[in-house]
Amino acid sequence: MANPCLSYPFPSNVHVMSSVPLKLNDSNYLLWKTQFEFLLSSQQLLGFVNGSVTPPPVTRTVTHDNTQTEESNPLYESWFCTDQLVRSWIFGTLFEEVLGSVHTLSTSHDVWLHLAESYYKSSLSREFSLRHSLHLLTKNDKSLATYCREFRRICDALSAIGKPVDESLKIFGFFNGLTRDYDPITTVIQSSLNKLSPPSFNDVVSEVEGFDTKLQSYKESNTAVSNIAIQAQQTNEVHYVGNQRGRGRLGNNRGRGGYTTRGRGFSQHQTTQNTSGSRPTCQICRRISYTALKCYNRFDNTYQSPYAQSFAALQVAYPVEESRLQTQVPQLM
């Protein structure tokens, strides 16, 4: 007796999980559907789920000796075998909670329709949500690495539901979220998009990351110059009161109080500032115990103060325009 399952394709040796590695859930229906359709098309079985292959009659009429009798239809049995094979393939790619909602459906077409009604709208709304998040994503105060990571995550999520973002739209969306600090590099890259071989999204990200590295180094250089300028300004504002031995003067006076007088008609005042133990510092060589008026480097034109040496080293490490240094850093003599 011929095998009734041979009238319709019956590829029983197909490894479904190698063609459809995903298991259906609320967020990946479109991608799961695409992969499963590729598998069914390769085996000429897509008509079983989309309804183009209809089931034949369950029975057929047979005439013997002018007598008509009803008997089972072998063609239906063949169709049923293949349909149940496709149904088992679908069940094998479902999670338990999904399988519980379709296990009572008898044909692969019924299962396919139920899954489409249950998960297509969910995937569609998720697609809209992801595209909206991608449109609103901006760098703002985030680091470039964090911004790139979030942008790639949303693009990967769209690809996971079968709605990948086009390369050109991905690039323009990435530029849209950057701040004005990146306008120079984005302008250059946009001009190169009209070439015959435009850069890919990964190439664009690499270029922007290189620009960001230089941008951060410039900011660190400006911060270092500003800090040294502030320190130099604070040093110049230090007022040293000479260590005089007379009384009635400010400074390290002998006697009581920061300001004293002797004689009648003068009230005794005491300052609240404690200057005991303070020693003068030279503004030229930065040595302690004398001021610039007594420094022997005062008339040496070839002598460079420690601050001047620090600025020279800074200019080597971080090139800064001379005009900027003159406005930001006071000259130390």
Claim to verify: residue 9 and residue 105 sit in the same structural domain: yes
Burial class (CB in 10 A: 0-12, 13-18, 19+), 302: exposed
Claim to verify: residue 200 and residue 105 sit in the same structural domain: no
Boundary-marking domain end, from 71, 90, 124: 124
Under 8 Å between Cβ of 311 and 290: no
Claim to verify: residue 9 and residue 102 sit in the same structural domain: yes
Number of separate domains in the chain? 3
Q: Which amino acid is at 55?
A: P
Boundary-marking domain end, from 216, 244, 269: 216
| pLDDT at position 232 | 55
Boundary-marking domain end, from 105, 124, 143: 124
Claim to verify: residue 11 and residue 29 sit in the same structural domain: yes
**Tens of pLDDT, residues 282-318:** 877 878 888 877 787 777 777 776 666 555 555 544 4
Cα gap 133→156, rounded to integer Å: 13
**Tens of pLDDT, residues 60-110:** 888 887 888 889 999 999 999 999 999 999 999 999 999 999 999 999 999
| pLDDT at position 307 | 60
Q: Which residues pair with 111 in a beta bridge?
A: none
| pLDDT at position 40 | 96
Question: Of 35-39, 44-48, 154-158, 202-206, which range is least confident?
Answer: 154-158
CB atoms within 10 A of CB 49: 26
**Tens of pLDDT, residues 234-248:** 555 544 444 444 444
In this prediction, residues 220-233 reach a mean pLDDT of 58
Domain residues for the domain of 139 are 127-216
Claim to verify: residue 97 and residue 117 sit in the same structural domain: yes
Is residue 333 in some structural domain?
Answer: no
Claim to verify: residue 131 and residue 91 sit in the same structural domain: no
% of the chain exceeding 90 in pLDDT:
47
Question: Of 7-11, 117-121, 311-315, which range is least confident?
Answer: 311-315
User: Model's pTM, two decimal places?
Assistant: 0.51
